[in-house]
Chains A and B, each alone.
Chain A
Amino acid sequence: MQLLQMMWEFFKAGLFAVGGGLATLPFLQDIGLRTGWYTNEDLANMVAVSESTPGPIGVNMATYVGFHTAGILGGVLTTLALITPSIVVILLISRFLEHFKGNRMVDNVFYGLRPASTGLIAAACFGVMQIALFNQEAFAASGNLRDLIQPKALILAGVLLIVTHKKDLKDLHPIVFLASSAVVGIMFHLAA
């Protein structure tokens, strides 16, 4: 019975959280508060785990909560409940777009949407850069500009920028760069 209720809660989160990833967070907080299935601290831990594992936070949280309350089956079912609304909505939109393929009006709308999409992704990139390359917490605490800059991270970023544009390396699979960066991170204690 609790499993059904859990599926229903995560189904709603999947239906109403628009804009992906972190947009699910307020919904997850709300579920925790109302049901007591997990605390805010559990959620914060989960955000940390999500940052250190592949996959979307919403999916990770659904799996985590489902598993803790009802085992493996619980994890699978809550995750399916979370993604069901988006699958249905996207399949409907796909059908709609197919129907209007080549329609001048729809093409014109996409002419405006594409640069907006690029702008949004660039903004997200800016957000990731703030976290990965600069230490804002230390800077806020000390006010010392030297604390803001993380030289090791900046050097790694510079090297990666060059390497990923080198002619015979740029077509490598992204995982090669990700894995090498993980090794560099461990070797040079990048988190310290």
Chain B
Amino acid sequence: MNTYLDLFLTFARIGGLTFGGGYAMLPMLQKEVVESRHWATEEELMDYYAIGQCTPGIIAVNTATFVGRKVKGDLGGIVATLGVVAPSLVIITVIAAFLQNFAEYAVVKDAFAGIRVCVCVLILNAVIKLWKKSVVDKPTLVICLAVLIGSVFLDLSPILFVVLAGIAGAVIKSVQAKNSQNTK
């Protein structure tokens, strides 16, 4: 299949199956982009998410642009992004045109109560996968727990955590490099 078409359809599928925003997209991305198509690695996904936290726009859109560009250049990035928003565009237009009280139907509420529980479990599984790849030693364990606890209990912007963690990574690594030089 044409790669552009494949990018568009894959991201349309991901966009169409993502309930509950950018983070809920993660299990889909792991399945479709990392495991089935090898367009990006688990590590790259984490990088994209971290950068997506500090750049304008929706994380789903940012990640699609990143992956698309990696696979097929600038045009690939644009095609993947259009793919990820296409389903919402169609669904919302239909709802806006015909189903004014869509969210009020009991059936819809029940179905989505079930879907929300599933999204929880899927994100939890995704976090476990990422944990295995990113928490590789003591410093990374500390960074991960600090960010988790900090963002649950403090009302601070995620940008702050990302910037601090980036600086911490650079400092820790250069200190380690210096120490290993001294011991030689």
Contact = CB atoms under 8 A, between A and B. Distances in A.
B120 A132 contact: yes
A22 interface: yes
In the complex, the 3 A-B pairs of residues with the closest C-beta atoms, listed nearest first: A112-B169, A185-B114, A86-B57
Interface centre among B17, B121, B145 (most CB of A within 10 A): B121
B20 A24 contact: no
29 contacts: A17-B57, A19-B157, A20-B21, A56-B88, A59-B88, A67-B92, A75-B89, A83-B57, A86-B62, A110-B169, A111-B172, A112-B166, A114-B46, A116-B161, A119-B143, A120-B49, A121-B49, A123-B147, A124-B23, A128-B120, A129-B120, A156-B114, A164-B121, A164-B125, A174-B28, A181-B115, A183-B114, A185-B112, A189-B106
Interface of A: 14-22, 24, 45, 48-49, 51-60, 63-64, 67-68, 72, 75-76, 79, 82-83, 85-87, 89-91, 93-94, 104-105, 107-129, 131-133, 153, 156-157, 160-161, 164-165, 173-175, 177-178, 180-186, 188-192
Interface centre among B115, B139, B152 (most CB of A within 10 A): B115
Contacts of A112: 139-140, 143, 165-170, 172
Contacts, number: 368
A185 B110 CA distance: 5
Contact of B162 (A75, A104, A116, A160): A116
Contacts of B110: 185-186, 188-192
A68 B93 CA distance: 9
A51 B85 contact: no
Interface residues of B, number: 105
Contact of B165 (A59, A91, A116, A156): A116
B28 A87 contact: no
A183 to B, nearest CB: 7
B79 to A, nearest CB: 11
A17 B52 CA distance: 11
A113 B166 contact: yes
A46 B96 CA distance: 10
B1 interface: no
B33 interface: no
B59 A174 contact: no
B53 to A, nearest CB: 6
Nearest to A15: B56
Given A108-B174, A153-B117, A52 B22 contact: no
Given A59-B85, A113-B50, A182 B144 contact: no
A188 B111 CA distance: 10
